[in-house]
A and B are shown apart, each in its own frame.
Chain A
Amino acid sequence: MKKHWWNILYGTVLLTFTVYTALDTFVLPHAYTAVSAQSSVTESTDTDTSDTDTVSAASSVETSENGYTVTSKSTSSASSDSSEATDSDSTSASSSEDTSSSDSDSTASADSTQTTTSLARTDGTVIGTYSDDEKTITVYEYTENSTQIYVADVTVTSADALRTALANDTYGRNITATTSDIASDAGAVLAINGDYYGSQESGYVIRNGVLYRDTSAGDQEDLVIYADGSFGIINEEDVTAQELLDNGAQQVLSFGPALVENGEIAVTTDEEVGKAKASNPRTAIGVIDDLHYVLVVADGRTSASQGLTLYELAEFMQSLGVSTAYNLDGGGSSTMVFQGEVINNPTTNGRTITERKVSDIVYF
């Protein structure tokens, strides 16, 4: 016993630390504060207003002036003069002259001409529809690569209809709720899981115009959703979160990789994202045209639905006609909720169909 005192002592310390690390990583909730907050409606007092055409153009110019590269920008213009970018009143002052600044009073205007572009493929089965003044949603089910794929085809009249929500309306780690619960709290008609930002300690987090995390994850591709509803793919090595915010980013989702850019598949057959060339449940979001989006969730890990590789998912997104598509958190997190009902079969282990709790959702 005396001979082994060190082994016993150190073994106890090592075990205790490991248990604490596991609890800290997976269980203990930590609420954090946002880096900076901006309200798109109440705080925007800039005088320089712009229409959506200007937003996209200005963003492109801005990116080159700031020395970083936006690798793609899915929409170049919108036939709207009311879908405006929003910006904070103070932090963007220096860049407001060449960025997509806003007119707060017209944020919620819905004079846009609704895009009528339909999906490029029509072989899906319609399993649900919804329509109101702001959005039209049609949910299809496809079977491809031995996988059940759910596609929500969404057209909106205002970019503001595309929003994100945090679990328990709180930013932090291990603060989670099911996609359906978050969707219910947010009043969402259609929702999918987001990027599960809470599982990472780095990677930009901008949600609804609020910068929550500005720690770069290095060589990490992010999806940026601008105030005009357009999509952009950026690399965190090339641009800071604050610059994105100043350029009118409303949402930044940090998971990846980009599946489709400028209509071309952006992943390779052996793409792995650190880990994921195997067939698995997937969640993705794409834009087809101005204010026309697709949300995609693929079931997997079951005998009924095998799941998709990233390349298969990219192929499928391309077949829908998207110009930009981005991979979100998959696996057991992949969930689509439509009018309060989970319409896919979320599973972590393939044996039980259970919704996993996640950090955030994307919803309409």
Chain B
Amino acid sequence: MSSFDKWMQQHRQGDKTMKQNRQMEDDFQAVRSEDVRRVWRWLFFTVLVLVFGLVYEIFSFGVYSNFMIFAFAFPLFMGLVPALVTCLKGVRRREGMAWQFWNSAVMTFTVGSLMQGVLDIYGTTSHLMIYYWIAGIALTAASLIARAVSFRFPALTYFHRNFKSEM
């Protein structure tokens, strides 16, 4: 191999490395952007639930329900705070069923809390309310299990399936 060929090979390898680095940087930026968007989404949802609860209380003639007032705590502590930590610390977020279960659990708890607040303020009860809490706890447990499985078998996660070739 002539020196020119060696130079060309090194150039191509360097170019390939640069492309890989650029691709990884793009991927990282994409993930970071998604993290930031996730923070904004949870912030919006938290504020939405907070405002809904406060407005509902304003028009409930002094009848109050802690479930209505504090419903925002679920998206705040189970959604916004983890998303903020992920974003600020740069923790590589893993997409997949674990997060989807987790998000579903937050939604279930939040809707269940708002629904319980509506019933409390109306002054009624429903035997069906228990299923919100059962489903929420089950989804939280499923999320934790799925998360543990994803660490043990990372190839199963959505993130790795989609970005494995570039990683």
A residues apposed to B, CB below 8 Å? 3, 6-7, 10-11, 14, 17-18, 20-22, 24-26, 196, 199-202, 274-280, 301, 329, 331, 349-350
Pick the most buried of A7, A275, A331, A350: most chain B CB atoms within 10 A of its CB. Answer: A275
A14–B65 contact, CB under 8 A? no
Q: Which residue of B lies closest to A255 (CB)?
A: B123
A14–B107 contact, CB under 8 A? yes
Contacts of A274 in B (CB 8 A): 120
Q: Which of A20, A201, A331 contacts B61 (CB 8 A)?
A: A331
Q: Which of B7-15, B23-31, B97-105, B147-155 lies at the interface with chain A?
A: B97-105
B104–A7 contact, CB under 8 A? yes
Given contacts A7-B100, A10-B104, contact A201 B62 (CB under 8 A): no
List CB contacts (< 8 Å) of B96-122 with chain A: 97, 100, 103-104, 107-108, 111, 115, 118-122
A278–B104 contact, CB under 8 A? no
Contacts of A18 in B (CB 8 A): 111, 115
> SS class of chain B's interface: helix, strand, loop or mixed?
helix
Contact with A along B128-140 (1 / 0, CB 8 A): 1101000000000
* Distance between B131 CB and nearest chain A CB, rounded to angstroms: 7
> Considering the chains assembled together, what is the distance between the CA atoms of A21 and B158 in angstroms?
34
Asked if B52 CB lies within 8 Å of chain A CBs, one says no
* Distance between B91 CB and nearest chain A CB, rounded to angstroms: 20
Q: Which residue of A lies closest to B59 (CB)?
A: A349
B107–A11 contact, CB under 8 A? yes
B124–A200 contact, CB under 8 A? yes
> Considering the chains assembled together, what is the distance between the CA atoms of A33 and B111 in angstroms?
33
Contacts of B165 in A (CB 8 A): none
Pick the most buried of A10, A24, A279, A329: most chain B CB atoms within 10 A of its CB. Answer: A10
Q: Which residue of B lies closest to A200 (CB)?
A: B125
Q: How large is the interface on B (under 10, 10 to 19, 20 to 34, 35 or more residues)?
A: 20 to 34
Q: Which of A3, A25, A276, A277 contacts B158 (CB 8 A)?
A: A3
Q: Which residue of B lies closest to A277 (CB)?
A: B62
A278–B63 contact, CB under 8 A? yes
A201–B126 contact, CB under 8 A? yes
Contacts of B118 in A (CB 8 A): 22
A199–B124 contact, CB under 8 A? yes
> Considering the chains assembled together, what is the distance between the CA atoms of A301 and B107 in angstroms?
34
* Distance between B96 CB and nearest chain A CB, rounded to angstroms: 10
Asked if B45 CB lies within 8 Å of chain A CBs, one says no
> Considering the chains assembled together, what is the distance between the CA atoms of A18 and B131 in angstroms?
10
Contacts of A17 in B (CB 8 A): 128, 131
Asked if B70 CB lies within 8 Å of chain A CBs, one says no
> Considering the chains assembled together, what is the distance between the CA atoms of A202 and B124 in angstroms?
10
> Considering the chains assembled together, what is the distance between the CA atoms of A301 and B63 in angstroms?
12
Contacts of B111 in A (CB 8 A): 14, 18
